[in-house]
Structure 1
Amino acid sequence: MSLRIALYFAFFLFIGIVTSGCLGTKYLKDDEKLLYKQKIKGSKNIDKEELDQLYAQEPNRQFPIIPFSPYVWFYYWGLDNYDVAKYEAKREASRAKWNTKIAQAREKDKTKKVARLEKKKRKKIAKINKTIQEGNVLMRWGEPIAVFDSSLAEQTMGRLKLYLNAKGYFQAKVDTTVDVSDKRLSITYLLDQGEPYRIDTLFTQTGDSAISKILNRNKDNSFLVEGENYEQNNLTKERERIDLLLKDNGYFDFSRQYVEFNVDTALVGDKKVAIQTVINKPSKRGYHKVFTVSAVNFTTDADVGFIPDSLRIEKVYRGITYRYHTYQYNEKILSRRIFIKKDSVYSKSNTFSTQRQLANLDHFRFINIHYDSSGGKLIANIFTSPLNRYQWTNEVGINVTQGFPGPFYNLSFKKRNVFKGLEIFEINGRIGIEGVAPATEVNDVYTSVEAGVNASLTFPQFVLPLSTRAKEKLGRVNPKTRLLAGYTYTDRPEYVRKNTNFSNTYSWQNENRGLFSFTATDVSIINSNLDSAFLGTLLALERNGNRLINTFKPSFVSSMSLSATWNFNSYGLNFTNSSFFRTYIESGGTSLNFVGTEALEKENLEYYKYIKLNLDYRKIHPANKNTTIAYRINAGIAKPYSDNRILPYEKYFFAGGSNGIRAWRPRRLGPGSYTPLDSTGGETRVSYNFEQQGEILLEGSLELRKNLIGFIDYAAFVDFGNIWTIREDPSREGAQFEFDRFYKEIAVGAGLGLRFDFSFLVLRLDAGLKIYDPARPEEKRFILSKGFYDPPFTPSAAESVVFNIGIGYPF
């Protein structure tokens, strides 16, 4: 192994030496220097990411560790083949070609063909124009060499000083040091922040006693706090807060422009700041007026423009005048989503809440709320346009869960407003094919077919015996009740599984991006037909004390569950600083504790009692404009307490695969330090053929994501984790979770991956390398340990490198 380490070291040393000059310095002129590196020193208590955004010039992007900038090569390679005149001639030739085709189509009076050709022409010309303006593909993928510009360095120094001033460091100084090596230049910006100025005195001038009272009542929410550092950004936040606060208290025509701050550093002493908040009066009226909503009008079919308003039917319910051509919606249900009340003071927040909750109903194409303040009154007009009552959708795509990609087809039908109470009835059918390794093999790939149909009825309220007042309050949290019945058919090489399911779920969400779901009843009846080889494997396990076979018997599974999800800054859609946290708790067979199990035993149905908890946290953190760090921690425990002491197969935890620990095949890692062996053929070898289930899960991932070229990104990742059993499993030695050794059984894998972002989907290719394998003897678990590849862990059997294909990001 020492020879192998030496070879690895020599290889990377060779690469470093060969590429040390591959930064594109040959493109520099004699008097030019390459901006190689830049950094900031001396910053204290300041966000480094914000400082990094202030550079006026950026160095060329490089590969991590290795001093190599291929993007410069791409740019100048493309530049060598870039001829503006050639592209302009190509554009004119293309325009003439398409004009001829369009003229011929017009002569034949083919209107649709003309429109189609015009569209193609615009697309082709736009593509050529982009090349003329931005360069060819290689130039757009690459970047010109970063020639150091002293004027841009001065600009960066100015930006840094202004930024420090805005943070309260009014006596800050910025200097630089420059290090030149051959044609490379590194610059360091030195910050001398000095002592920050602190807020010493706050006072307010409004000239309006009513506004003063509102501000005093809410002063605890102010962004300006005595004793804290002065920060200019807090003035902006305070202006926004006051604007919303007053608009929520009836000041309909108030504007943030009326809020002014006077900052004085000389009034209160050394390094102290006095801030006066001034609420200016409007010049015309001379005072700020509180508006009361005098009427609320709701036009439910505003898109029917050919009908005069005078012909619309009007109906008043709870102070709201509903106007429509044809009666469609139950006013009682609608009124619970409208928080603008007649004779109440105007509130901007209530207006936004009304618009949001009406949109959550999934019944309206658009929702516009307009206020008419002419004549001294404030009239709220709500205009909506209904979505189609009947809707068919088709979806064809590629699906990957824990295997190889396969096609799927979805067909769904939706009917809105079924009983005039804004209910939604849906039927969804799905069939998907995926390449998977069977539960008892790993080297072969078989086709797995999954098909299902679900029917659901969703009510825009909690179907519970609640008071009218309670239902009114719940309207702000988008309450829904969903009744579902479904059937799923799964055909895998080792079994065919049929699942009939019924559930009743209540869901709601708050304004802090919290989504909550409570499933009061979830009942499944499961039947499985086992392949003879798979059945033989399960029977062999049973003889060794493993009762996994019970989960494939005809089963009755009942449970109730609660999940809470917080999505901050649109995680999954927004690749800036965002995070996601989900907690899930499930109680299986709870009702059986009260009603008994005699009926199920009479029908020979297996039943389960268990408690399951799962916590999942994910975060995306931008290191700079080209680099993102993402990480995830996922942990769970499922404890069965029925007589059979097992879980339904779908309720177990599994580890490994394209969305988990990628150096192991799907569901093949663990449990604990268990070493799966295969002694067939007279040779004992490690075998990852059989899926391994556990009752405790701990896994995590850290991933560095960077753009490579164009739509191609690359990633470097480290995954870690394992599964364990709660009780000792005689058939799997080392599977049980023990506090004094579990940390030694955390598997570690690392690897590299490519992501092809086609906008409509992201194709992901990952290669994971086993770094630390707890299935090996303790002294041989690290990949660099002597004996890592000793029998039975031969390279071919142990699969040191595992390749994964995925759709979308792993987390």
Structure 2
Amino acid sequence: MKPIILYLSLILSLSSCIGYRFLPKGEKLLVKDPKIIGLSSNQEKEIVNFVTQRANKRLAALLPISHLANIYELGALRYDTTLYHEKMQSLNAKNNLEMIKTNNNRKIIRITKKVNKKIDKTNIQLTQGNYFMRLGEPLAVYDKEKHIESIDKIMRYLFSKGYFNATINLTEKIINKKIKISYETKLWNQFLIDSIKYDINDNSIKMLLEKNEEVSFLIKGMPYDEQKINKERARIYNVLSDNGYYKFDKKFITFDLDTTIAKRNGLWVTVKISSPAQQDHHNKYTVTAVNFYSSKNTGYKKKNKLIEQQEVVFDKNSDGFNKKILNRTISIKPNKLYSKSEMLLTQQRLNLLKTFKFININYDTIGQNNLIAQIFSSPMDKYQTSNEIGFLQDDFSQVLPGPFVNLGIKKRNAFGNFELAELNLNFSLLGISNIDSRNQAYSLFEYGGRLSFTFHHFLFPLSSNFTKKINSLNPRTRLSFYYNYEDRTKEYERNQIFTDFSYLWSQNKKKQFIFTPFGVNYTEIRQINPSFQTFLNTQDTLGNRSLSAAFKPSLTTLTSFEAILNQNNYGNLSTHSSLLRFLTESGGLYVNAFENLLPYSNFTLFQWLKFNVDFRAHMISKKGQIAFKINLGAAYAYGDAQALPYERRFYAGGSNSIRAWPVRRLGPGAYGEMSSMKHTFAEDEVTQINYQREQGGDFIIETSLEYRNKLTTSLNYAFFADIGNIWLLNGNQSIKDYEGDDGIFRFDSFYKELALGIGLGLRYDFSFMVLRLDGAIQVVDPAQPLGQRYVLNQLLSQNEVFRNKSNINIGIGLPF
């Protein structure tokens, strides 16, 4: 009861600071956003951006206080422009004095640069205010003119949607120094398109549009919408631009609206396409030649020649490039009608070769109806190096980020056929918990490298016709070689060598596909700590073969398919976006071949099937952002090993998973190792769970929901809830906890074993990265006895239990 009284006292004390004491005399404070009356919820969402003045933001529902306004006004109390003007004069005078004292040009440049930096900083303080003013927002002092301007914008918007007779009245409700306003809207009837007519003198254009009339954005009986009018104008322009009308312009397309002829609330739309001045028709243009120019020759030394008849004319600087591939990539062809789509497609395909900095396509007119396509390219440097130094946090890390160094070099057009050769080296010291202990920080030291070759076609005997058909999918073949050394303190050292052969293709940025018909991984165990080996032996006797087999020499083959569907560039936080990733893989398909090749080897040969679906969405509303994730996966091990490779198992818990549980420590199922401490209360008993050992599984259900919003310009906050768990599918494992739970997935009880955690997060946006701090507590703990798994009430009353059932996560980047 006492915390509640303190909380209410804090609310009452802070609510008096909402900003009235900063309010100028005679002014009113806008305490709520304008209320829009008479519109549906969807219409309100459409017009909310037209409101020029809003009330000051509040700290969600935690406190009735306009935190940003108070920050701004507290900064304004100490803000004096006179001081900054004097500082500017002082800096200029000091700069002039230093210039007089020295004749050294280098020193002059250094002093000027230093002083200019200070002047720029002072100028920002003059124009935008001090740090606290920039961090906050000005007090929302009611300005009637701004709301009249908002109403005018909304009226224009409603008119564009067919509400030609709509009216909006501004009403004010004043209570002392506060004011609330509303926009009372009357829409009346929306005008509908009653008839669509075409006024086109050019018969060729008229026939062309009639063929495409079924895909028109204007339909008889639909409500008038200016946005649809603009889309129809763009559609007509695109149709004509793709059928030879090179000089056609959107200005020739007009729409006449008539409300007097049709019935009440009806509208006649006349689509009119006018002809150029002093002409009765528009000319069609044919491409007679295609020329390709390169600004410099950075291609392969061996000269490439076209064996087939040359469709594209290349300059001498293009000799180092494979002209057959260029000819196939360029979709603009001679003796074809001009097409804007083909021009854009050519630009896109040439850019996907990852060889040119930019592609510029121009057309020269020859005579009345002919064009010459001029393609100008600027190749990138043949060699490119990169380096990156910073701090990295592993996906399953639970401690502070560790340092890393990445070095890379690229060679473009490596063998004269637009191949891309890449070599990357990496070194890192990561903070990650040990497999059987959470007490060892910075325990993972890694170094390794990757050599890859990307070919801009499928390395497979395909017919030339089929190759042309799939060229629009940007087909590529990638051959990669990896080496990785891993040293986990007090556990093990191992080497891994991996190679794969993959086909990649994409229809556009929204859809990407990767098919790997063959991959092979060799793992060599260099050293195992005796105590860790004892731990592995114990796990082996319990049936936990995946963990024990992961630290034996192994040879693994892999076949996989991955599809990624990305809507609106997921990760862009300014729009609605989503990402769907589907992965299916099979390991050990070629295991018999290796057994025959290496009959006396002691390699562990894994065989498994796995699938994984990961969906993520980001939605924006006027009250904040909603982010959602669901991750489903299953893996089945078969063959002699009867185990999954360590990296192919599923794990739950940690900064990018179920955040109320330590990294990789949740599950499987209701399984939980009891700690030596047990706390008994008057009615309930909460078991302290030992989270020292990693827990892997064969099946995962994981979902997260986040509400995100801004505290200040750079600091954001989030409320989140995470639900999920992992389970075992292999019934041969004999692990059981203090209650006899074995972690096996069962359809009739799995929903009782879902873990639930909630929390609050802070995210600071440095523009180049986001630093994240998430605090989470357990609400439902499946490791507790059935009937006692709701633990939130005990967490809030007992500190020792709270420490065991809460978790702090530090991360780089958003969790999803």
User: Taking structure 2 as the reference length, what is the TM-score of the superposition?
Assistant: 0.91
Residue 155 of structure 2 is aligned with which of 152, 161, 166?
161
Give the residue type in structure 1 aligned to 2:808: F
Post-superposition offset of 1:346: 1.1
Q: Where does 1:768-783 land on structure 2 (aligned, <5 Å)? A: 768-783=776-791
Q: Which one of 380, 386, 397 corresponds to residue 390 of structure 2? A: 397
Q: Separation in 2 of the partners of 1:288 and 1:485?
A: 57
The secondary structure found in structure 1 opposite 2:570 is coil
Q: Which 5+ residue runs of structure 2 have no aligned equivalent?
A: 299-304, 681-686
Mapped pair 1:650 → 2:647: yes
Question: Quick check: 1:466 aligned with 2:462?
Answer: yes
Query: Are 1:739 and 2:747 matched, yes or no?
Result: yes
Helix, strand or coil for the counterpart of 2:125?
Answer: helix
Matches within 5 A, 1:213-292: 213-292=207-286
Q: Is the CA contact (8 Å cut-off) linking 1:315 and 1:322 kept in structure 2?
A: no
Return the alpha-carbon distance in structure 1 between the equivalents of residues 134 and 235 of structure 2: 43
Match of 1:24 among 6, 19, 26: 19
In structure 2, what residue type is equivalent to 1:378? Answer: L
Q: 1:675 to 1:202 in 2, by over 3 A?
A: same
The offset of 1:780, in angstroms, is: 2.5
Quote how far apart the aligned CAs of 1:285 are: 4.1
* CA displacement at 1:223 relative to structure 2: 1.8
**C-alpha distance 669-314 of structure 1, shift in aligned 2 (>3 A):** closer
Q: Does 1:212 align with 2:210?
A: no
- Asked if the contact 2:734–2:742 (Cα under 8 Å) also holds between the matched residues in 1, the reply is no
Q: 2:608 aligns with which of 607, 610, 617?
A: 610
Structural mapping, 1:359-758, within 5 Å:
359-373=351-365, 375-376=367-368, 377-401=370-394, 402-403=396-397, 404-493=400-489, 494-511=491-508, 513-528=510-525, 529-548=527-546, 549-592=548-591, 595=593, 597-599=595-597, 602-624=600-622, 627-679=624-676, 685-728=688-731, 729-732=733-736, 733-758=741-766
Match for residue 301 of structure 2? Answer: none
The whole-number CA distance in structure 1 between the counterparts of 2:791 and 2:213 is 60
Secondary structure of 2:92's partner?
A: helix
- Provide the secondary structure at the position in 2 that maps to 1:718: strand
Q: Is the 8 A contact 2:296 2:378 kept in 1?
A: yes
Structure 1 residues 117 and 344, CA, compared in 2 at 3 Å: closer, same or farther? farther
Specify the alignment match of 1:60 in structure 2: 56
Counterpart Cα distance in 1 of 2:761 and 2:523: 38
Which among 3, 9, 12 is matched to residue 4 of structure 2?
Answer: 9
Q: Retained in 2: the 8 A contact 1:314–1:322?
A: no
Which one of the candidate residues 343, 349, 352 is aligned to 1:351?
343
Cα distance, 1:294 vs. partner?
1.3
Q: Give 1:97's match in structure 2, choosing from 89, 94, 97.
A: 94
Contact 1:437 1:444 in 2 (8 A): yes
Structure 1 residues 225 and 338, CA gap change in structure 2 (3 angstroms): same
State the one-letter code of the partner of 2:386.
T
Match of 2:81 in 1: 84
In 1, Cα distance between the equivalents of 2:628 and 2:48?
A: 22
- CA shift for structure 1 position 174: 3.2
Q: Is the 8 A contact 2:201 2:280 kept in 1?
A: no
1:606 is paired with a residue whose SS is coil
Describe the SS at the equivalent of 1:86.
Answer: helix
Mean alpha-carbon deviation: is it higher for 380-389 or for 72-81? Answer: 72-81
Distance 1:467 1:115 in 2: 64
Which residue number in structure 2 is paired with residue 310 of structure 1?
none
SS in 1 for 2:12: helix
The CA deviation at 1:590 is 2.5
- Cα distance in 2 for partners of 1:645, 1:658 equals 30
CA deviations 1:653-683 (Å, max 9, x no partner) are 1111111121111111112221222459999
Aligned to 2:801: 795
Identity of aligned residues (%): 36
Could you say what secondary structure the match of 1:463 adopts? coil
Cα separation, 1, equivalents of 2:769 and 2:478: 30
How far 1:90 moved relative to its partner? 1.1
Structure 1 CA distance for aligned equivalents of residues 652 and 343 of structure 2: 47
String of CA shifts for 1:543-584, please: whole Å, max 9, x gaps. 223223123221121111111112222222453222222111
Task: Tell me: CA distance 1:27–1:212, structure 2 relative to 1, closer, same or farther (3 Å).
Answer: same
CA distance, structure 1, for counterparts of residue 359 and residue 139 of structure 2? 51
Alignment partners' CA distance in 1, 2:58 and 2:801: 34
The CA distance in 1 between the partners of 2:446 and 2:43, in whole Å, is 49
- Offset of residue 320 of structure 1: 0.3
1:780–1:788: 8 Å Cα contact kept in structure 2?
Answer: no
Worse-matched range after superposition: 522-531 or 194-203: 194-203
Which range moved further: 54-63 or 677-686? 677-686
The answer to whether the Cα contact below 8 Å between 1:581 and 1:615 also exists between their aligned partners in 2 is: yes
Structure 1 784/804 Cα, relative in aligned 2: closer, same or farther at 3 Å? closer
CA contact (8 A) 1:199 1:227 kept: yes
* Contact map agreement 1:478 1:509 (CA 8 A) in 2: yes
2:684 maps to which residue?
Answer: none
CA distance in 1, matches of 2:316, 2:522: 46
Question: Are 1:673 and 1:735, in contact at CA under 8 Å, matched by a contact in 2?
Answer: yes
Counterpart secondary structure, 1:552: coil
Partner of 1:309: none
- Give the counterpart letter for 1:799 in structure 2: N
Pick which of 384-393 and 455-464 moved more: 384-393
Q: Which residue is equivalent to 1:123?
A: 117
CA shift, 1:226, in A, is 2.5
Distance, in Å, in 2 between the alignment partners of 1:294 and 1:582 is 45
Q: Do the aligned partners of residues 285 and 115 (structure 1) sit closer, same or farther apart at CA in structure 2, a change above 3 Å counting?
A: farther
Tell me, yes or no, if the aligned pair for 1:440 and 1:691 is still in contact at 8 Å.
yes
Q: 1:180-232: CA deviations, max 9, x gaps?
A: 44433333334443443332322222212221222222223222222322211
Question: Would the alpha carbon gap of residues 267 and 511 (structure 1) be closer, same or farther in structure 2, given more than 3 Å must change?
Answer: farther
Would you say the 8 A contact 2:795–2:805 is kept in 1? Answer: no
Q: Which amino acid aligns with 1:727?
A: N
Equivalent pairs, count: 790
- 1:590, 1:226 → 2: CA distance? 59
> Is contact 1:652-1:694 (8 Å) kept?
yes
Deviation, 1:754, is: 1.9
CA pair 478-709 structure 1, distance change in 2 beyond 3 A: same
Q: Equivalent of 2:40, from 19, 44, 51?
A: 44
The 3 A distance-change label for structure 1 pair 673 and 116 is same
Q: CA deviation at 1:523?
A: 0.8
3-state DSSP of counterpart to 1:46: helix
Instruction: Name the aligned partner's letter for residue 811 of structure 2.
Output: G
Counterpart residue identity of residue 768, structure 1: A
The question of whether the paired residues in 2 share the 8 Å contact of 1:336 and 1:471 is answered with no
1:691-712 Cα distance to aligned partner (Å, 9 max, x none): 1111111212222222222422
Cα pair distance change 1:367/1:783, threshold 3 Å = same
Q: CA deviation at 1:487?
A: 0.7
Using the TM superposition, give the Cα deviation of residue 326 of structure 1 relative to its aligned residue in structure 2, in angstroms.
Answer: 6.7
Superposed CA offset, 1:613-648 (max 9, x none): 111222222223x83222222221112233433211
The superposition leaves residues 392-432 of structure 1 with CA deviations (integer Å, 9 ceiling, x where unpaired) of 21111211122230111111121111211111111111011
1:226-263, Cα deviation, whole Å (9 max, x unpaired): 23222111111111122122111111111111111112
Distance in 1 (CA, whole Å) between partners of 2:529 and 2:262 is: 85
Paired position in structure 2 for 1:805:
810
Q: Which moved more, 1:636-645 or 1:231-240?
A: 636-645
Secondary structure of the residue aligned to 2:443 is strand
Inter-CA distance 706–492: structure 2 relative to 1 (3 Å threshold): same
